[in-house]
Structure 1
Amino acid sequence: MDETESTPAAASAPPLPPVMVAVFNQKGGVAKTTTACNLAVSLTAFGYRVLLVDLDTQGNATASFGVAPLPTEGAFEVITGRADIADVALDTAYEGLWLLPATQSLRDNDHLLTPSGRRRGLLEARLAGTGVDIVVVDCPPSLAAATSTALASATAVLMPVHPDPFAHDGLVNTWYEICRVRETVNYQLGVAGILLTMTEPDPTGADVARVIRAEFGDQVLDVEIPAKVKVAEAAHLGLPVTVLDPDGPAGLSYVEATREMLALLARQNRHWAHLPQAASLETALERLREWRATLHADLLNRLPVDPEPTETRSRATADRRAMPPTASAAGPTVPQRPWWRAVTLNQVILLTATFVAGMAVEALVEFLGQMTR
């Protein structure tokens, strides 16, 4: 991140800390990292300068932006004061979005962040001079020291929730943790929303979603993120689904959820969470479409294309099924088990069973003979 060229700084007044949104849920498997990455890109499309901080020791958010293996310096070094953010934050392919990556040291020394989780605003202070508008923090799915560090500085928490049978308990536990941090460490900590993710039209999920909406009210965003194959496809290509398919159900839902979250923060009317006016929805979508068409055209051209007509493909499949199995030229050869081993094993089993049955019959005949004498 180049503070002199990309991020204007006020000459007289001290720099204000950015609005910080922590993406967190104690329960894993709720699309937390996917939400953090798509939220960061969507906020950038709405015209904000955004910093994505990866505090998850798995480093999935870092890998989602093509940074692999994990760099030697990143979020852990900034929090502990061993590196300056201007030296370790990485540019991304999206103008206005920077990444503070996870590192191996974060994975190995997470316990060293325990004191920072008890100190109000340490991460906020480290990021005060960046000049970005919003910081999005991808937290681990546990009450680790890195999570406590993020919550101690966050403006608000966005909680992704997958409406499965265990979702309600995980959300309640997460809510209690947020309340505890607010009462003991960070009195300014608010809620940026509860986002239902990977939703499907099944009765169980719908019932869980209704319970969550009934209990948490307007804290639950109206927009839901549907479970679509495009989300997995985007992750495979290393793209946010908002860029791969901005007009599709999942991509558009993330963009609309971002706009709804911004509106929720604005309604809370907290002076420390003030943000510039966001661009319009159409402007944001146009920017996402532009990124889709230009920055990742080479990746999009690698998407699977099946030029064969359905009839031809079906006939070819039938022909392949009629042929004996052979090794594929495009894939690895699977070693076949020698036929004689299978035959011998079957014969051994059959002979053993016959022998045992014969012994039983012979014993029975002898016993009956003794009884008649």
Structure 2
Amino acid sequence: MEVLRQRRSPKAPADHNKAPSDFMKTIAVYNLKGGVGKTATAVNIAYLSACSGQPTLLWDFDAQAAASWYFQVENSKRKKASKLIKDKLALGELIQGTGYDRLDIIPSDMSNRNIDVNLTGVSGGKLDSWLSMLSETYGVLVLDCPPTLSELALRILKAADAVLITMIPTHLSFETYRHVTEMMEQKKIDLAKLYPVLTMIDRRKSIHQEFTASCKKTLGKTPIGFVPYCSDVEKMGEFREPLPVFAPRSPATLAYQLLWDNIRKKALRRR
């Protein structure tokens, strides 16, 4: 695995030299429940996508801005994401570099907490038009979604090529997954693009062992990835870097690499 170690370069987006393409793949990382490894998964998947040679953009939709914080990137006060919806700002003005080759980010800020209010009455085609513009530069788009049942979430789930639902192996987390599948069915969103990802698996806990062993029967699908509980993931907050950069031999790094390999083989090729 190539490790992109370039760090803290100017925040201008990289020149990817990518010909315009209609084949950009969009990966949404989503869950209604917090604390299940959603943002860590989005950050590491975006980084590994860039490592694989794909010009990649991580779009941080979560008002908590955790993904932006991991990459040490902030929105300027004049460039709030909320202005994009009101056509007061061009999409390209929000894009910043991360300091890693082939990896850019649209950072979040607290104005995103009102994004659903701002989306009210706005055509659903606006998100599609943004994705179309991004496909001219990027091969992979990773969306760190807000943990809400909202208009924004529904539009993202419809537009994405693959939806990763991060979840820990517990009763409540599996019940949340059921709620998401029911919502997608009601909105006629293709369930075939929904992929569970088990995270924070602690083999010392019997309930984690039981749920991991029975997850295919319980969920109706085999998870596309299994990420163990590992203190290295928590250290992402200390280093403010993707896991493969500072812990390339960590079991969690290997798990995220296997997850990315499965996404490419199973989730993105089918569409």
Task: Quote the Cα distance in structure 1 between the aligned partners of 2:228 and 2:110.
Answer: 33
How far does residue 74 in structure 1 lie from its aligned partner after superposition?
Answer: 4.8
Q: Is the 8 A contact 1:62 1:99 kept in 2?
A: yes
**Is 1:122 the equivalent of 2:91?**
no
Q: Residue 248 of structure 2 aligns with which residue?
A: 246
TM-score normalised by L of structure 1: 0.63
Task: Quote the Cα distance in structure 2 between the aligned partners of 1:90 and 1:245.
Answer: 25
Q: Is the 8 A contact 1:20 1:137 kept in 2?
A: yes
Q: Which amino acid aligns with 1:216?
A: L
Task: Quote the Cα distance in structure 1 between the aligned partners of 2:142 and 2:69.
Answer: 16
Q: Residue 59 of structure 2 aligns with which residue?
A: 53
Q: Is the 8 A contact 2:81 2:111 kept in 1?
A: no
Q: Residue 199 of structure 1 aligns with which residue?
A: 201
Deviates more, 1:236-245 or 1:69-78: 69-78
TM-score normalised by L of structure 2: 0.85
Deviates more, 1:137-146 or 1:30-39: 137-146
Q: Deviations over 1:315-373 (max 9, x none)?
A: xxxxxxxxxxxxxxxxxxxxxxxxxxxxxxxxxxxxxxxxxxxxxxxxxxxxxxxxxxx
Secondary structure (helix, strand or coil) at the match of 1:91 reads strand
The structure 2 residue matched to 1:177, chosen from 175, 183, 192, is 183
Q: Deviations over 1:187-212 (max 9, x none)?
A: 6x742521100000111112222332
Q: Residue 78 of structure 1 aligns with which residue?
A: 84
Secondary structure (helix, strand or coil) at the match of 1:127 reads helix
The structure 2 residue matched to 1:35, chosen from 41, 55, 60, is 41
Secondary structure (helix, strand or coil) at the match of 2:238 reads helix
Q: Residue 278 of structure 1 aligns with which residue?
A: none
How far does residue 129 in structure 1 lie from its aligned partner after superposition?
Answer: 2.5
Q: Aligned residues: percent identity?
A: 25
Q: Is the 8 A contact 2:16 2:55 kept in 1?
A: no
Q: Which has the higher helix share?
A: 1
Q: Residue 361 of structure 1 aligns with which residue?
A: none
Q: How many residues align?
A: 257
How far does residue 33 in structure 1 lie from its aligned partner after superposition?
Answer: 0.7
Q: Is the 8 A contact 2:85 2:118 kept in 1?
A: no
Q: Which amino acid aligns with 1:124?
A: D
- Residue pairs, 1:143-154, within 5 angstroms: 143-154=149-160
Q: Which amino acid aligns with 1:64?
A: Y
Unmatched tracts of structure 2, length 5 or more: 1-11
The structure 2 residue matched to 1:232, chosen from 231, 234, 239, is 234
Q: Is the 8 A contact 1:55 1:146 kept in 2?
A: no
Q: Which amino acid aligns with 1:122?
A: K
Task: Quote the Cα distance in structure 2 between the aligned partners of 1:109 and 1:194.
Answer: 26
Task: Quote the Cα distance in structure 1 between the aligned partners of 2:184 and 2:206.
Answer: 30
Q: Is the 8 A contact 2:215 2:221 kept in 1?
A: no
How far does residue 105 in structure 1 lie from its aligned partner after superposition?
Answer: 2.1
Task: Quote the Cα distance in structure 1 between the aligned partners of 2:81 and 2:25.
Answer: 17
Task: Quote the Cα distance in structure 2 between the aligned partners of 1:123 and 1:190.
Answer: 21
- Residue pairs, 1:1-373, within 5 angstroms: 5-10=15-20, 15-16=21-22, 18-68=24-74, 71-116=77-122, 119=124, 121-130=125-134, 131-181=137-187, 183=188, 190-191=192-193, 193-201=195-203, 202-221=205-224, 223-266=225-268, 268=270, 270=271
Task: Quote the Cα distance in structure 2 between the aligned partners of 1:73 and 1:40.
Answer: 23
Q: Is the 8 A contact 2:226 2:259 kept in 1?
A: yes
Q: Highest relative contact order (Cα 8 Å, sep 6+), 1 or 2? A: 2
Q: Residue 343 of structure 1 aligns with which residue?
A: none
Task: Quote the Cα distance in structure 2 between the aligned partners of 1:244 and 1:258.
Answer: 18
Unmatched tracts of structure 1, length 5 or more: 271-373
Q: Is the 8 A contact 2:84 2:90 kept in 1?
A: yes
Task: Quote the Cα distance in structure 1 between the aligned partners of 2:207 and 2:42.
Answer: 26
Q: Deviations over 1:244-276 (max 9, x none)?
A: 2122101111111111111112552x2xxxxxx
Secondary structure (helix, strand or coil) at the match of 1:210 reads helix
Q: Which amino acid aligns with 2:39?
A: T
Task: Quote the Cα distance in structure 1 between the aligned partners of 2:214 and 2:85.
Answer: 38
Deviates more, 1:229-238 or 1:80-89: 80-89
How far does residue 77 in structure 1 lie from its aligned partner after superposition?
Answer: 3.2
Q: Is the 8 A contact 1:243 1:251 kept in 2?
A: no
Q: Which has the larger radius of gyration?
A: 1
